[in-house]
């Protein structure tokens, strides 16, 4: 199988068991008060994806316990545009969680890898 071929893309994406929804925050004019107010807008829904979790242990020599941090990566089709500041809601293995893009995606021929953080609030 040739990397980047349709068969390769199909094989990689066959592992994607999650669904993602990309939501952005737009300013919408409220005619009742004349103010622009924030409103969520869904850019894309039910996009096949996969979330990968990896725990990273800090091993600096000291007397305290080692710190553990978790990195989360979203694997999704490279054609999907995820703007900075958007909220990504992912459902995988019966769990739903909200994330936000925390870095620049690494884009490959059959997927992109998007680093994520837990969504706290709209900026």
Query: pLDDT tens digit string along 4-47?
Result: 788 888 888 888 999 999 999 998 889 999 899 999 999 999 99
DSSP 8-state symbol, 104: P
What whole-number distance in Å separates Cα of residue 82 and Cα of residue 74?
Answer: 11
Whole-number pLDDT of residue 11: 87
What whole-number distance in Å separates Cα of residue 73 and Cα of residue 86?
Answer: 15
Band (pLDDT 50/70/90 cuts) for residue 3 is confident
Is residue 110's pLDDT more than 80? yes
Q: When comparing pLDDT for 58 and 69, which is higher? A: 69
- The predicted model scores a pTM of 0.80
Whole-number pLDDT of residue 66: 66
What whole-number distance in Å separates Cα of residue 25 and Cα of residue 83?
Answer: 11
Contact present, 87 and 99 (Cβ < 8 Å): yes
Band (pLDDT 50/70/90 cuts) for residue 122 is confident
Whole-number pLDDT of residue 5: 80
Whole-number pLDDT of residue 7: 86
Whole-number pLDDT of residue 77: 94
Query: pLDDT tens digit string along 47-56?
Result: 999 999 887 6
């Amino acid at each position: 199988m040739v990397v980047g071929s349709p068969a390769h893309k199909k094989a990689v994406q066959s592992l994607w068991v999650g669904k993602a929804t990309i939501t952005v925050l737009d300013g919408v004019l409220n005619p009742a008060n004349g103010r622009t107010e924030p409103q969520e807008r869904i850019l894309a829904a039910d996009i096949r994806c996969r979330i990968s979790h990896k725990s990273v242990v800090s091993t600096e020599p000291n007397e305290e316990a080692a710190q553990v941090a978790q990195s989360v990566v979203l694997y999704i089709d490279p054609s999907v545009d995820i703007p900075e500041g958007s909220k990504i809601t992912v459902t995988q293995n019966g769990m739903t969680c909200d994330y936000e893009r925390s870095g620049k995606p690494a884009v490959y021929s059959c997927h992109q890898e998007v680093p994520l953080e837990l969504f706290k609030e709209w900026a």
